[in-house]
Amino acid sequence: MEIIIQPDSQQGSQVAARIVARLVREKPHAVIGFATGNTPLRLYKNLVRMHREEALDFSHVTTFNLDEYVGVPAAHPSSFHSYMWAHLFSQLDIPNGQIHIPDGMTADIPATCRKYEEAIKSAGGIDVQILGIGTNGHLGFNEPTSSFASRTRIKTLTEQTRLDAAAAFGGQENVPSQVITMGLGTILDSRMCLLLAFGKKKARAIALTVEGSLTASVPSTVLQLHPRAVLVLDKDAASDLKMADYYTWVYDHKPDWQKS
């Protein structure tokens, strides 16, 4: 893993945006996996700014989102479809046909999941998968005990995950119990995993992810197996890392050509 510790979420998001921008400039037909939630919002604002002010061209990019709630229409204000259009897609030049988000209203979930996997494969695989992390270490909606080999499928949410999403739905009782999510195996197939974590409440999950034992009980530890997992953290999220000083030293002493 590469651990990048920044003073705050604003600077961390700028680092992450530079990583994504470099990919898009070097590979205009890049395939990007997107995440939702509060964590990537500043990253997306930076990408929109780069598109407007620096002519960062997304017109040939293909996208795949990690997940979507089952039974929630795309037009619902709390759907991930709505989130992505509000915060990113409506402000970039990605053609609609190149945007992929799981269909939470599908009548045949297994078939939809198989087609999603096939679409990723047909696109050439995901170049960079943007990730957040749950307080219990979930990636996407791969809850604890998810198989490291899992593919896109339906998952039932834990009560903690539903509680974390309560604000978006006006109360925990309104949060759907099930989602369609990329599997951990799908995420591992990405050429780069770019995980962002900000705030003290993510510190324990980050410490377990980076310095803990490999275990399905903490799904995010699967990133220990990935050849190019980059974690961008603020100081609060990194506060439980025993080797934080070392990670900072390594990043500060990287050759210029290797820095984002």
CB atoms within 10 A of CB 136: 18
Exactly one of 138, 189, 234, 236 is catalytic; name it.
138
Exactly one of 143, 164, 234, 236 is catalytic; name it.
143
Active site residue 87: no
Cα–Cα distance, 61 to 147 (Å, whole number): 30
Unique residue bearing structure tokens 């919002």: 41
CA angle 64, 69, 225 (to 5 degrees): 50
Active site residue 53: no
Cα–Cα distance, 5 to 15 (Å, whole number): 10
Active site residue 138: yes
Exactly one of 67, 103, 127, 164 is catalytic; name it.
67
Burial of 113 (0-12, 13-18, 19+ CB in 10 A): buried
Question: Strand 31-34 vs strand 62-65: parallel, antiparallel, or unpaired?
Answer: parallel
Q: DSSP readout, 101-123?
A: ---TT-S-HHHHHHHHHHHHHHT
Exactly one of 46, 68, 127, 136 is catalytic; name it.
136
Cα–Cα distance, 173 to 101 (Å, whole number): 25
- Residues carrying an active site annotation: 67, 136, 138, 143
